[in-house]
Structure 1
């Protein structure tokens, strides 16, 4: 159920029947020449639809901007500060709480947003004590990715416009991928990047962290379905 298409006369009863709201959270940033700037939005939206089908939840309109500090200087990137995101998410959560929702799920398509989502959830824990707040970023994906990837990751946390994320797109939004432009860029990410602010232009000119040409729909389907199963289980465990 897409929340924005409901009307005020009918929605109250539908909320009473569901009480679960899913918010796709994405970003606008560089993803190489083969993926669109809104890749994280499309992934969050389409994964949210799959989750909503399994949980009979409402899908809220996407929050389409995120914290993209590391890539803010690349053409097309639009950066939102963490504090701005936290305030926005808290306002949405508190509004949902007043409307009667009992579960607020944020489905994140961009790793850089995770700090803001966690902090917003902590604020809502205090202000909305009877509402469960969950923030997801592909739970269980690391093990699933290890099962299908052909090249090792360039970083123990980052994955971006690479074999893995491009595979996600080939499964969830294939019409938006141009594999003819998929390239290989395996940068050496300095160790200090984990301990001090480091703009990505310091180590990549493309914003691709790996071999995007190795991406396949089958790899994306395996990882996404693993994450989806974990999301559903976590939600059921928290009822």
Structure 2
């Protein structure tokens, strides 16, 4: 069930049918190599969410395309939201979802760069003594499936996997002619290990593509989409059964300090 498509009356019924569980998909707008659309993460996470709602009752909010992409600002097309602003914004959304009667909220992350948001928002909810439970879910999928179908020796951002996903979802947006016979290897631009910096990743992968995306196929994308959706649906079932997190949140609210 999509929040966007429900009437006000239907939302109350949906709350009962989903046992008070809502999900917020979060993507990004950023470069994905020279061949994939800026909205690759957003398109992928929306597709997974659409499939998940066919497998398990959940109310899915509109996808959040604007997130945390600080290393990506060196290329055209990135829309980066500062972490504090994003934290406040997502918290505000969760507060409103709870006000509408949903006690369990899951954020479905389609963008690896949202890890800082995940690391910040989960303890933030505890500190703020929120009366609801927040869960963070990655796209994941079956690692054994990936081993079986992937041909590249290594894969990652805008690589064989993500390219396969978009070939399945929106083949009209993929510029395969730009990557034929191309392998994206890491650069050695920054050599300060074991120290880390804010630009480690972009210095290693300036094209923002990893591995051999020309080995991608739409069928691989279809298989990964189904695997991811099945895993997320099973995670939602666990969330529905869970009582520990809400109980801990209630305990925290009852504390004086």
Distance (Å, rounded) in 2 between the aligned partners of 1:219 and 1:193: 36
Distance (Å, rounded) in 2 between the aligned partners of 1:200 and 1:233: 32
Residue 160 (structure 1) aligned with residue 162 (structure 2): no
Partner residue of 2:111? 110
Q: Match of 1:105, SS?
A: strand
1:86–1:117 contact (8 Å) kept in structure 2: no
Structure 1 residues 67-146: aligned runs within 5 Å: 67-125=68-126, 127-129=129-131, 131-146=132-147
CA RMSD of aligned residues (A): 2.4
Q: CA deviation at 1:34?
A: 1.8
1:22–1:52 contact (8 Å) kept in structure 2: no
2:24–2:63 contact (8 Å) kept in structure 1: yes
Partner residue of 1:186? 184
Output one character per residue of 1:181-205: Cα deviation in whole Å (capped at 9) or x when no partner. 3352422255749832225553444
Question: Unmatched 5+ residue regions in structure 1?
Answer: none
Deviates more, 1:4-13 or 1:80-89: 4-13
Output one character per residue of 1:69-114: Cα deviation in whole Å (capped at 9) or x when no partner. 1211101112112222221111111111121113212111110012
1:185–1:206 contact (8 Å) kept in structure 2: no
Question: Unmatched 5+ residue regions in structure 2?
Answer: 242-257
1:97–1:128 contact (8 Å) kept in structure 2: no
Structure 1 residues 1-239: aligned runs within 5 Å: 1-18=1-18, 19-125=20-126, 127-129=129-131, 131-153=132-154, 159-183=156-180, 184-190=182-188, 192=193, 195-198=196-199, 200-238=201-239, 239=241
- Report how many residues are paired: 234
1:16–1:100 contact (8 Å) kept in structure 2: no
2:14–2:59 contact (8 Å) kept in structure 1: no
- Call closer, same or farther: CA 1:140–1:17 in 2, change over 3 Å: closer
Select the structure of larger CA radius of gyration: 2
Q: Match of 1:233, SS?
A: helix
Deviates more, 1:218-227 or 1:32-41: 218-227
